[in-house]
Each structure stands twice: as C-alpha cells, then as structure tokens.
Chain A
Amino acid sequence: MNEMDVSKYIASGILELYVAGALSEQENQEVAALAQEYPEILAEVEAIEASIRELAASYASGAAPDFAALESQLTSPSVKQLKPGEPEPRRFRLWAYSGWAAALIIGAASLYLLQERNRMAGELDGLQEENTQLETQISQAREGLENANATLKALGEKGIQLVPLTGQQVAPEAYARAFWNTEANRVYIDANGLPEPPPGMVYQVWSLKLDPLTPTSLGLLEDFAADTDKIFALANPNDSEAFGITLEPAGGSESPTLEQLYTLGAVSS
C-alpha cells in the first residue's frame, strides 16, 4: 500500500466501522494487520476510538465507580478468570432442568395412569365376566323354576297314577317313582333316588306286561348327571302293568338286561 492507498483506505470509512465492531472477522483481521503496519492507520483508529469514548463518557453520571468495589469481587469463585478455551462455568439453571423434571413427572404419571387404566380395564373385564355368569345362573334358575312349575303342574294333573319303583338286587338302596298320566299317555320318571350311572352307561325305562313278561322300551334317561330335577318325561301309549329301570350301555338296548335291573314297580290295579 502506498501513501495514496493508505489515504483512500482511511477515507473509505472502514476504520470507523472497525471501532464500532461492525466488520466481518476477516475485515477485522485485515484492519488490525494494516494498523500494525501503517502508523497513519493506527493513529486514525485511535482518534476515532477517542471520539467515541468521549461521546460515551459525556453520558457517564460522573466519575466511574471506584475500582475497590470491583476488586473485592475478583476473588469470588464465580468470577474466576477463565483459561483460554475454557468453557464458561455452567450455572445451575433451574429452567434448564425444570423441563426435564416436568417431563419425568409427566412420564411417571402417564405410566401410572396407564397401569391403573389397564388394571381397571382388567377388573372391568372380570366384573363383566362375573356379571355374565350371574346372568346365566339367573336364567338357568328361572328355567329350572319354569321346568319345576311345569313338572308340578304335570304331576298335579287329573288322572295321574303314582307308581313307586323299589330298589332291586344290584341296587337295593335305589328307588324311583313313575307318574303315569294315562289320559295324556305320558309317564314322568322321578329318578332322584337313582345313583349316577357309570360312564358309558345309561338308564333305560321299560313298560312291562307281566303275563307273559313283555318289556317295551319307553326311552332313556339321557344326560342324567346334568339334569337338575331328575324328572324325565316319556311317552307311554302302552297298557303298562309295571315299570322297570335298567342300566344299559349308551344308546340303550333292544331288551332289558335283567341283571342290571335297578328299580321295579307294579301298577296297582
């Protein structure tokens, strides 16, 4: 740079911006280097700086505060001089952590509420299931009551003949009753006195003519164990003289197995 260039450089106004701190880092480095090299440039920078300092000082309220007040604070750990490149000490900033804390609390609360929700949903499912079971029981009980009422009604009808069936050799303790409605050609077997048949076996009811002994099958006491009132209605168009119940293989037999005759009773004439 010759003298002419230096003057031009100064006149450009770049030095004023340098003092203001309004230049790019690259421009700053350039001006700083030129100021070292050219005394005119340095002198100009100093004069510009002086004018701004004077202008600023004219706004001061008087003398600057005493250095002693400042000096007493220099020993405080919070104003410890930082080494080059040393990051600023991190102050504990509540706001910086409060967000995390809030997130944690909300997260924990959400988790708890989710668990609680699942637990309650499970409880609700259980209650609903229990409710269904109770409803089924009620409906079963109602059905049972209706059946019992129907049975009572059937048994109370006119022309019913009661035939007690007593236990035989294979089952002396067993007993049963036949309620025979001769008008309706139906017989109701009360099987409450019969033991539960073994698996694969079923009770079969016979209408008997005695002379000669002629058995006619009236039907099976199916689903014996599941039947709550143990009263079975069977059609009986026969002119029966006695009723017998035998234990037969599932599905029943053509003729009664007399060795497995549980109960037997004659119709009183």
Chain B
Amino acid sequence: MTSAQISDCVSQMQQGDKAAFRKLYDMYAINICGAINLIVSDTNKSEEICQDVFLTVWQKSAQYNPSKGRFFTWLLNIARNRAIDHVRSSTFKQEKQNLSADLLVGIAEDGAFEDEVVHPQEHNLKQLIEGLTQKCREIIAYLYFRGYTQKAVAEELKIPLGTVKTRNRDCIGRLRKNLNERDGRQ
C-alpha cells in the first residue's frame, strides 16, 4: 500500500470499517508483533500483547491524527509502551527464563537479554544488522524500541546531544543498505 492508500484505510477504520482495519492489521501486524517480541523476548507473551495492542488501536483509532505523525509511528508507540509496561511488571521479572538472544543489546532492563537462544528469524536479522556498530544498534534500539528522546539517548550512550540525529541517520542508512542488498539478492 502506498502512503495515500494507507491514509484512506486509516480514515475508513476510523469510521468503523472492519475490512479496512483488517487490511491495516495484515500490513502491520508482523512488524508490531515483532517489535513487541524484540522488547519482551517471549513469543507467547508478545503475541498476547500484540493482540491487545491492535484491540486498543481499533478502540482508540479516532485519536490518531495524520498531521502529527505516521500511522506506523502511532502503532509503534502504543506497542512499545505496552511491551515496556510488561517488562517493568513483576510477572516478567519472574519469567525471565524465556528470554532470547537480543542482538540489539541494551533494549531490556538491566541488559538482561544475554542468553543465546536460537531466534526464529535469526538469519534474516543477521543480514539486516550486519555491519551495524554496537553504538548503532543501541541508538536504534533506544529510539525506536524504547521510545527514548534524543536527550535521553545522548545521556544513556554518553554522546553529544547534537550528534544523535546524524548518527542515527547514518545507522538507519546502513540498515537500509543491508535491506536493499537482501532484497536485491532475493
């Protein structure tokens, strides 16, 4: 779907069109469920949270305003808030044995994701983050999957505030290059 088609779909969903909602779900569910799993590292729990996130999306769709950001950004924000809430909850801390390897280190609380567990799409992931420096992985993790502000990222990674924006662009550039190469090879 193009951006214009997505916009149409979103406004139809806002009118209560379940078919439009379904189209959006089919388009974004894999990304949103993946983002949640990236944060909670528990496939069963992340699917549960993911479904809950989309129910919220349906319920609160009227709150989305296209002039204030991308629909995906709105979805991602709801998803990571819900996932981070779960990570901070006590149940998560008790069930820590289910954590999987996280190549975007530093995402979880206390750097808890150190265990090496086979990732379902490990190969895919490795291709995407190939050549990304540790700092890049951290910047991306904090900005997109933890919802940090530039200032918070600068403080966390001890880099000047003014460099966060350009460093992140460089990192995303490398990610896009990897993505293009992968798709070019397919």
Query: When the two chains form their complex, are residues B43 and A33 in contact, meaning their CB atoms are under 8 A apart?
Result: no
**In the assembled complex, how far is the CB of residue A11 from the closest CB belonging to chain B, in whole angstroms?**
7
Q: Which of A13, A56, A81 makes the CB contact (< 8 A) with B61? A: A81
Q: Which of A17, A22, A81 makes the CB contact (< 8 A) with B62? A: A81
Query: When the two chains form their complex, are residues A51 and B121 in contact, meaning their CB atoms are under 8 A apart?
Result: no
Query: When the two chains form their complex, are residues B120 and A45 in contact, meaning their CB atoms are under 8 A apart?
Result: no
Contact with A along B131-169 (1 / 0, CB 8 A): 000000000100111011110000000000000011011
Closest residue on chain B to residue A31 by CB atoms = B69
Q: Which of B16, B55, B179 makes the CB contact (< 8 A) with A79? A: B55
Given A32-B67, A49-B72, check contact A58 B125 (CB 8 Å): yes
**In the assembled complex, how far is the CB of residue A102 from the closest CB belonging to chain B, in whole angstroms?**
23
Query: When the two chains form their complex, are residues B61 and A58 in contact, meaning their CB atoms are under 8 A apart?
Result: no
Report Cα–Cα, A57/B179, bound state, in Å.
Answer: 12
Main secondary structure of the interface of A (DSSP, over half): helix
Query: When the two chains form their complex, are residues A13 and B169 in contact, meaning their CB atoms are under 8 A apart?
Result: yes
Main secondary structure of the interface of B (DSSP, over half): helix
Given A19-B70, A48-B176, A59-B34, check contact A83 B62 (CB 8 Å): yes
Report Cα–Cα, A237/B11, bound state, in Å.
Answer: 130
Report Cα–Cα, A57/B26, bound state, in Å.
Answer: 13
Given A29-B68, A48-B176, check contact A57 B30 (CB 8 Å): yes
Query: When the two chains form their complex, are residues B150 and A17 in contact, meaning their CB atoms are under 8 A apart?
Result: yes
Q: Which residues on the B side are within 8 Å of A62 (C-beta)?
A: 120
Query: When the two chains form their complex, are residues A54 and B172 in contact, meaning their CB atoms are under 8 A apart?
Result: no
Q: A48-B172, A54-B31, A58-B121 are in contact. List 19 more A-B contacts (CB 8 A).
A: A12-B165, A16-B165, A18-B73, A21-B69, A32-B69, A45-B70, A50-B176, A51-B175, A53-B28, A56-B145, A58-B124, A58-B128, A59-B34, A60-B120, A61-B33, A62-B120, A83-B62, A84-B62, A85-B62
**Sample of 24 A–B contacts (CB below 8 Å):** A17-B150, A18-B69, A20-B143, A21-B74, A22-B147, A29-B68, A32-B66, A42-B3, A51-B172, A52-B144, A52-B175, A56-B145, A57-B121, A59-B38, A60-B34, A61-B47, A64-B33, A65-B33, A70-B54, A71-B18, A74-B18, A79-B58, A81-B61, A88-B60
Q: Which residues of B contact A (CB under 8 A)?
A: 3, 16, 18, 21-22, 25-26, 28-35, 37-38, 43, 46-47, 50-51, 54-55, 58-63, 66-70, 72-74, 76-77, 119-121, 124-125, 128-129, 140, 143-145, 147-150, 165-166, 168-169, 172, 175-176, 179
